[in-house]
Amino acid sequence: MSYAQAVGETVRALRVIRGRWADLLLAIETPPADHWPPRQLAHTMRDGDDELLVEDRAPLVLREHPAPLNLGALDAGQAVERLIFNLADTLAAAVQRTEQGDPRAWLSPDPAAPDSHRAAGSRRHGLHFACVWVEGRVLDEDTAPEVELDGAISAPPYEVLPLYLLHEARRTARIAEARVLRALGLDLRETPLPEPCPWCAGELILHSAPDGPPSVTCSGARDCSAPVPLDGAERARVWGWDDLPELIAALGVDISAAA
């Protein structure tokens, strides 16, 4: 893997974590859902619902949940915070030159300090800030000397990230990303649906992936008369994202229950 690839992968994983964090926090307050019908589809099929609504409702900080409804999501959220905060501590100890009062700084808490003090550092700003901060270090931002107003040159706030820490950041970000996606049911997986195909009684399989919308296939292939195309190898009928509402209607599934 080249240096640029490692940087690109790390940044992409950090952005997935940030982009899905609000969903994960909401999931903690929602009973675990079946993967079918897909939750994203329920959102798009309800009038007046959109992603903004999810963002508006989402708490941005992992709070104490007196009665979490989805322990799997809570576990994942806590594990991901630990991974990313510890990563930021490690990178800060190696490359940060900024003073603690500098808003660009990640405060490295003293591991020997009581918990109340450890929580007082940049962890207080939450996971979103931590991801942005780590991304800046991976991209070697703020590593050039700065020219002050009076013409003096001052040392940059950060040193360039050593290669071994780039690989550490990539490894940790990938693990954390996988935890988030798995908790949300967005990892790559195939789930057989409880109902057979309404057109040919073949087996229906839901395919979900982290980087695209879900699809459903029917094993009936050419014997299936469903009005959707065959896949490239002609082994299955495929309902893409735009065709899923029709399949759900044919199955008589109540989509509103999935929201």
Binding site for Zn ion (CB under 5 A): 197, 199-200, 202, 218, 220, 224, 226
The nearer residue to Zn ion, 14 or 248, going by C-beta atoms, is 248
The nearer residue to Zn ion, 51 or 231, going by C-beta atoms, is 231
The nearer residue to Zn ion, 87 or 236, going by C-beta atoms, is 236
Q: How far is the CB of 197 from Zn ion (least distance, A)?
A: 3
SS3 119: coil
Q: How far is the CB of 37 from Zn ion (least distance, A)?
A: 17
CA distance 63 to 59: 8
The first and second tokens of residue 248, run together, are 């759900």
The nearer residue to Zn ion, 196 or 213, going by C-beta atoms, is 196
CA distance 214 to 249: 16
Sorted by sequence, the CB contacts under 8 Å of residue 143 that are 6+ apart come out as 156, 158, 159, 160
The first and second tokens of residue 117, run together, are 């003090």
Give alpha helix (H) positions in 46-113.
51-57, 71-95
The residue whose two tokens read 């000397």 is 145
Q: How far is the CB of 237 from Zn ion (least distance, A)?
A: 6
CB 39 within 8 A of CB 255: no
The nearer residue to Zn ion, 200 or 230, going by C-beta atoms, is 200
The nearer residue to Zn ion, 107 or 226, going by C-beta atoms, is 226
Eight-state DSSP code of residue 203: P
CA distance 104 to 97: 10
Q: How far is the CB of 103 from Zn ion (least distance, A)?
A: 58
Phi/psi at 146 (5° precision):
-105, 140
Q: How far is the CB of 238 from Zn ion (least distance, A)?
A: 11
Residue 156: CA atoms inside 13 Å, Cβ hemisphere, count?
Answer: 12
Q: How far is the CB of 255 from Zn ion (least distance, A)?
A: 20
Q: How far is the CB of 223 from Zn ion (least distance, A)?
A: 8
CA distance 63 to 44: 28
The nearer residue to Zn ion, 200 or 259, going by C-beta atoms, is 200
Sorted by sequence, the CB contacts under 8 Å of residue 153 that are 6+ apart come out as 145, 146, 147
CB 46 within 8 A of CB 256: yes
